[in-house]
Structure 1
Amino acid sequence: MPKPKVAVLRPDDGRIDRAIQYLQSLGVSPIADPMLTICPTGQSPQQAEYCIFTSKTGVELAVECGWQPDGGTVCAVGQQTAAALRNRGYTVDVVPTTFTSTGLVEELSDAVEGATVEIARSAHGSEVLIRGLEEAGAVVHETHLYRLERPNTAGKSISLTVEDELDGVLFTSPKTVEHFFDIAAERERTSTLQKKLEQTIVGAIGTPTERALRTKAVAVDIKPDSVGFEPLAEAVVQEIDNEHA
């Protein structure tokens, strides 16, 4: 019996390689179709009383630029972001219980009135974080550390989905959803893709990714409570195995 095929859309750096290896360890055939490429801007976070990081990539780029907190409160959205900071010797002062921008706003809203807040992230972050902190009285500045662009090679997973060749698709960010459906629209296959995804196990990391899929009229089958690639991959593969049992 052929192994199930699962598409993985992680960025075209070490993450796609690690994802392929992990999916292979779960006994499926990974279909690597990176939907993101990281394009650093060369900017560095400004000094502020609070500095917020929202991704491991942002942390890595800030470290490369020589950023130091200089006594400011360091905040991280998500345990992976926090771990990236700690692994590089930084103290993480605030990690919201809910790994979202809304969760961080709730965590900081009573503390930031009149304070300067630096948000160091990609150029594609939602306005929720900025708006919420400003409403709490903070003076907010945002630095775009990188842009997320679509690789020219992206699109294999769309073709395989339409051809009924995929058992599962792993969506790991709202931007992967956007690029996935942009390609489908360019090929005039959006409606067909939506129908075919009804027969495919669709997995999403986190509420923002799930929300992005729902705006495309796609039902999410798997969204683990833990935000990370490995729990997502495990849960999707388990669901595929259950269907094939």
Structure 2
Amino acid sequence: MSEPTVAVFRPDDDRLEETVTALEECGVEPVPDPMLAVEPTGEAPRDDADYAVLTSKTGVELAADAGWSPGDATVCAIGPSTADVLETAGYAVEVVPVEYTSSGLVADLGEDVDGQKVEVARSDHGSPVLTDGLEDAGAYVHETILYRLVRPEGSGDSAELAAAGELDAACFTSSLTVQHFLEAADEREVEADARKGLEDAVVGVIGEPTRETAVEHGLPVDVVPADATVDALLEAVLADLES
């Protein structure tokens, strides 16, 4: 019996390598298909805020490379993976929400940010749930775009496999990976067949915002892990494959 094929759409760096290795160790055949590429803007987070929010490994690395200092700000991470990278870079993390999402962070900060200056440093595709939620809580929010996320040239091998009925599972790690998958499928003129292929595959999404995007675009969703982390997503998708 052949190994099941599982598509992953992380940026083409150590994150993709780690995910591929994890899948191989679980006895499945990874289909690495980077759907995101990073274009730095050259901007750095402000250093005069009361709270500083970082939402990704890439954002932390760009901020650190720019020599950013949070000053007296309370440093917040969207989840444990981002917190780990912040701490490795020498930043003290004080807030990690119980629920690793924008809404989870807003809920955890609550009334603490009322009247406070909050710096949000992230990509150009950040969810408005975070900035709108903080503003609704009374914060003065400033957003710095550290990088843009674009679809890499040549992406879409997973769409070809899905169209051919040869993809067993797909792990979408953000709303943008959903959109870029469909764009790549359309570019290769296999979108209709790729959609049909996903109906027979296990489709996993990293959290509720990504699930909503997938549903809005007419894709089936089989798995949403309790924790919005890549490890939890892979574990849940593999468990569904084995059931």
| TM category, shorter | over 0.9
Give the superposition deviation at 1:141. Answer: 0.7
Match of 1:153 in 2: 154
Structure 1 contact 33–156 (Cα < 8 Å) conserved: yes
**Aligned positions of 1:86-235 closer than 5 A:** 86-235=87-236
Classify 1:131/1:235 alpha carbon distance in 2 versus 1 (closer, same or farther; 3 Å). Answer: closer
How far, CA to CA, are the matches of 1:191 and 1:160 in structure 2?
13
How far, CA to CA, are the matches of 2:94 and 2:29 in structure 1?
40
Give the superposition deviation at 1:120. Answer: 0.5
Match of 1:32 in 2: 32
Query: Which shows bigger deviation, 33-42 or 221-230?
Result: 221-230
Which digits, 9 at most, give the CA deviation of each residue in 1:88-141, with x for residues without a partner?
Answer: 222212222121111222222312222111100011112122222222222111
How far, CA to CA, are the matches of 2:90 and 2:141 in structure 1?
25
How far, CA to CA, are the matches of 2:226 and 2:22 in structure 1?
19
Which digits, 9 at most, give the CA deviation of each residue in 1:162-221, with x for residues without a partner?
Answer: 100111111111111110011223344433322221100111112121121111122211
Q: Which amino acid aligns with 1:225?
A: A
Match of 2:77 in 1: 76
Aligned to 2:112, the other structure's residue is in SS state coil
Classify 1:131/1:226 alpha carbon distance in 2 versus 1 (closer, same or farther; 3 Å). Answer: closer
How far, CA to CA, are the matches of 1:118 and 1:237 in structure 2?
37
Sequence identity percentage: 48
Aligned to 1:12, the other structure's residue is in SS state coil
Q: Which amino acid aligns with 2:11?
A: P
Match of 2:239 in 1: 238
**TM-score (structure 2 length as normaliser):** 0.94
Which digits, 9 at most, give the CA deviation of each residue in 1:46-69, with x for residues without a partner?
Answer: 021111111121111111111111
Aligned to 2:192, the other structure's residue is in SS state helix
Match of 2:2 in 1: 2
Q: CA RMSD in A?
A: 1.5
How far, CA to CA, are the matches of 2:241 and 2:23 in structure 1?
13
Match of 2:21 in 1: 21
Structure 1 contact 158–184 (Cα < 8 Å) conserved: yes
Which digits, 9 at most, give the CA deviation of each residue in 1:20-42, with x for residues without a partner?
Answer: 11111010111111101111111
Match of 1:42 in 2: 42
Structure 2 contact 156–188 (Cα < 8 Å) conserved: no
Query: Which shows bigger deviation, 65-74 or 220-229?
Result: 220-229
Match of 2:60 in 1: 59
Give the superposition deviation at 1:7. Answer: 1.1
Q: Which amino acid aligns with 1:106?
A: A
Give the superposition deviation at 1:241. Answer: 2.6
Count of matched residue positions in the alignment of Structure 1 and Structure 2: 242
Classify 1:237/1:109 alpha carbon distance in 2 versus 1 (closer, same or farther; 3 Å). Answer: closer
Give the superposition deviation at 1:146. Answer: 0.9
**TM-score (structure 1 length as normaliser):** 0.93
Query: Which shows bigger deviation, 181-190 or 198-207?
Result: 181-190
Structure 1 contact 7–166 (Cα < 8 Å) conserved: yes
Structure 1 contact 26–234 (Cα < 8 Å) conserved: no
Aligned to 1:121, the other structure's residue is in SS state strand
How far, CA to CA, are the matches of 2:95 and 2:234 in structure 1?
28
